[in-house]
Amino acid sequence: MGKKPTGGGTRLAERIASRALGPWARERDETVAELTEQVKVLQAQVGEQREIIESHHALLSRLLLSEEMRPVGAL
């Protein structure tokens, strides 16, 4: 029986392609790294915004509940 590929061939192919493409491959790799970093920053910002939204939602829910519990005509 033959051996199954372990994924090492993919890395070798990437290295060969990187050498063949030279500066374009490095530029591509740098662009991918920059985009990856930007995605991480955006994911963190989205997480912070979700926390704020959840907090505001909880406050609004309590406010609406307190309005419902207030006697009719009371200010």
Q: What is the pTM of this model?
A: 0.55
* Residue 70: both structure tokens together: 């207030």
Is it the case that residue 5 has pLDDT exceeding 60?
no
Got the DSSP string for 31-57? Answer: HHHHHHHHHHHHHHHHHHHHHHHHHHH
* CA–CA distance, 45 with 39 (Å, rounded to integer): 10
Q: Where are the domains of the chain?
A: 8-69
24 token code pair: 């374009």
Tokens of 29: 């790799």
Rounded-to-integer distance, Cα 8 and Cα 62, Å:
57
Q: What is the token pair recorded at 6?
A: 């372990």
Report pLDDT for 17. Answer: 72
**53-75 pLDDT, tens per residue?**
999 999 999 998 887 777 766 65
